[in-house]
């Protein structure tokens, strides 16, 4: 006896109705929580999605007087100008190198600091160290770069210390070969303490019984860090690393602009600072928009690639 299987197809409209009815029940049940989403959603809509309308300038010969709707369309001409520009390779090289410095030195620093905080026994001593490390993050970039400029000046503290070892006094910020190191040291000092908060929060969620079991098995403090602490916070480390890679080409333009000068453009000029100079100083808005669009596309690709690799290798990812 042969029986025919019949499949029931649910209409698309019914699927949408069931989805929205379920969403309505969730919103009605947790309306206070959904109300908290209003301001963040408005922020992203107004300051992240709405400005995307201006990306049209990348494909136009934008005129400030004609506006986006009245400007002439030129296709990929602005992209061609950037890729054929003598500044393309220089800005790309400097951006990649400074970003690599940040990944090698600035990214691990808050992880190490959070682990060290976690190992401090005295609560008062721990709070004192944490406060001292958090303060630089809340200092204005203008003040921080001003301090660095004074320290690296001919009569600054760096030269005072270097002269004790027989070195000649010189202004290090006018020497291109020292700029990347100075900038990296400055960002590590300014942001390490505040960035360690995320990892400190992750360490607080580690099960203490794991440390007790490791101690019973004869593991010392170093082995407990290697085999318990770091594996426990690995998902947090991976998430922050993916976010860091997404901003790989977005080197902080503010601090660099406040630090660099024409004599150090050779090693200090990045894609972000090039966008600033071309767009705001030279009023080439279309070219600046084209460079910014390329920057954003590369960042998006890096996020997707790093997320895919992380999911395959560590089984931890953003999505």
pLDDT of residue 7: 47
Per-residue CA distances from 263 to 109, 172, 177, 266, 312 (Å): 30, 12, 11, 7, 45
Task: Specify the higher pLDDT residue, 146 or 311.
Answer: 146
Max CA separation in the chain (angstroms): 101
Domain total of the chain: 2
pLDDT in tens, 53-110: 888 999 999 988 888 888 899 989 999 999 998 889 999 999 999 999 999 999 999 9
* One domain for residues 44 and 180: no
| Separation of CA 67 from chain center | 32
Q: Is the pLDDT of residue 22 over 50?
A: yes
* One domain for residues 283 and 145: yes
Q: What is the mean pLDDT of the chain?
A: 85
* One domain for residues 101 and 145: yes
Q: Tell me how far apart the alpha carbons of residues 46 and 111 are, in angstroms, rounded to a whole number.
A: 34
* One domain for residues 234 and 134: yes
pLDDT in tens, 150-176: 998 888 888 888 888 888 888 888 889
Task: Specify the higher pLDDT residue, 309 or 8.
Answer: 309
What is the band of 121 on the pLDDT scale with cuts at 50, 70, 90? Answer: low
* One domain for residues 158 and 224: yes
| Residue 6 lies inside a defined structural domain of this protein | no
Q: Is the pLDDT of residue 250 over 90?
A: no
| CA dihedral (73, 75, 78, 84) positive or negative | negative
pLDDT of residue 13: 63
* One domain for residues 80 and 52: no
pLDDT of residue 11: 53
User: Tokens 């949408």 identify what position?
Assistant: 16
Task: Specify the higher pLDDT residue, 48 or 9.
Answer: 48
| Residue 4 lies inside a defined structural domain of this protein | no
Domain containing residue 59: 12-70
| Residue 3 lies inside a defined structural domain of this protein | no
Per-residue CA distances from 249 to 39, 62, 202, 243, 292 (Å): 29, 25, 27, 12, 10
Domain boundary residue among 70, 88, 111? 70
* One domain for residues 54 and 148: no
* One domain for residues 192 and 106: yes
pLDDT of residue 253: 80
| Residue 319 lies inside a defined structural domain of this protein | no
Instruction: Count H helices and E strands in the chain, helices first.
Output: 19, 2
* One domain for residues 59 and 159: no
Q: Angle between the 176-204 and 108-119 helix axes, to the nearest 10 degrees?
A: 40
Task: Specify the higher pLDDT residue, 4 or 200.
Answer: 200
* One domain for residues 147 and 45: no
What is the band of 1 on the pLDDT scale with cuts at 50, 70, 90? Answer: very low
* One domain for residues 90 and 115: yes
What is the band of 235 on the pLDDT scale with cuts at 50, 70, 90? Answer: confident
Q: Tell me how far apart the alpha carbons of residues 87 and 276 are, in angstroms, rounded to a whole number.
A: 14
**Cβ of 319: how many Cβ atoms within 10 Å?**
6
What are residue 73's DSSP bridge partners?
A: 60
| CA dihedral (112, 116, 119, 123) positive or negative | negative
Q: Tell me how far apart the alpha carbons of residues 255 and 141 are, in angstroms, rounded to a whole number.
A: 6
pLDDT in tens, 26-56: 888 888 888 888 999 999 999 988 988 888 9
């Amino acid at each position: 006896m042969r029986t025919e299987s019949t499949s029931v197809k649910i209409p698309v409209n019914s699927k949408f109705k069931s989805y929205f009815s379920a969403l309505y029940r969730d919103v009605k049940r947790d309306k206070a929580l959904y109300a908290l989403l209003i301001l963040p959603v408005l922020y992203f809509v107004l300051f992240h999605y709405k400005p995307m309308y201006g990306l049209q300038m990348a494909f136009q010969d934008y005129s400030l007087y004609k506006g986006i709707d009245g400007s002439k369309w030129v296709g990929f001409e602005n992209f061609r100008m950037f890729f054929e520009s003598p500044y393309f390779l220089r800005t790309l090289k400097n951006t990649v190198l400074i970003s690599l410095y940040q990944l090698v030195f600035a990214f691990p620093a808050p992880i190490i600091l959070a682990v060290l905080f976690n190992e401090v026994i005295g609560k008062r001593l721990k709070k004192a160290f944490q406060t001292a490390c958090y303060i630089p993050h809340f200092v204005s970039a203008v003040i921080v770069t001003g301090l660095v400029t004074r320290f690296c000046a001919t009569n600054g503290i760096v030269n005072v210390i270097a002269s004790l070892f027989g070195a000649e006094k010189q202004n290090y910020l006018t020497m291109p070969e020292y700029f990347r190191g100075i900038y990296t040291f400055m960002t590590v000092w300014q942001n390490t303490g505040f960035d360690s908060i995320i990892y400190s929060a992750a360490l607080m969620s580690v099960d203490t019984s794991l440390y007790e079991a490791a101690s019973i098995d004869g593991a010392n403090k170093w082995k407990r860090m290697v085999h318990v602490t770091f594996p426990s916070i690995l998902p947090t480390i991976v998430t922050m690393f993916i976010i860091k890679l997404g901003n790989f080409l977005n080197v902080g333009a503010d601090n660099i602009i406040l630090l660099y000068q024409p004599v150090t453009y050779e090693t200090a000029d990045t894609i972000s600072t090039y966008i600033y100079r071309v767009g705001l100083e030279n009023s080439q808005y279309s070219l600046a928009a084209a460079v910014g669009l390329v920057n954003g596309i590369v960042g998006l690709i890096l996020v997707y690639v790093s997320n895919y690799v992380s999911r395959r290798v560590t089984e931890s990812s953003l999505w």
